[in-house]
Amino acid sequence: MPDDFVQRLIQCIAKTQHIPAENITIDSSFEQLGIDSLDGINILFALENEFGVNIPDNAAQQVKTIRDMAQGVYQLMEAQQAQPQAQ
Partner 1 sequence: MRRVVVTGLGVICAAGNNREEFWAALKAGRSGVRPLACSEASKLRFPNGAEVAGYDPLQHFEPRQVDLLDRFAQFAAVAGREAVRDSGIEFTGRARQRTAIVTGCCVGGQSTEDAGFIELYQKGLPRVHPMTIPRIMSNAGASFLSTEFGLTGPVFTVSTACASSNHAMGQALWMIRSGMVDAAITGGSEAIFSYGFLKAWEAMRVVSPDTCRPFSKDRKGLILGEGGAMLVLETLEAAKARGARIYGEFAGFGMSSDAYHITQPTVEGPAAAIQAALEDAGLAPEPVGYINAHGTGTLANDVTETRAIRAVFGAHASKVAVSSTKSMHGHALGAAGAVEAVATLMALQDGVVPPTANYTAPDPECDLDVVPNAARECQVEAALSNAFAFGGLNAVLAFRREPPGRN
Site residues (vs partner 1, CB under 8 A): 36-38, 41, 44-45, 56-58, 60-61
CB 21 within 8 A of CB 10: yes
CB 5 within 8 A of CB 52: no
C-beta of 56: minimal distance to partner 1 in Å? 7
C-beta of 84: minimal distance to partner 1 in Å? 20
**Residue 20 or 86 having the CB closest to partner 1:** 86
**Residue 58 or 85 having the CB closest to partner 1:** 58
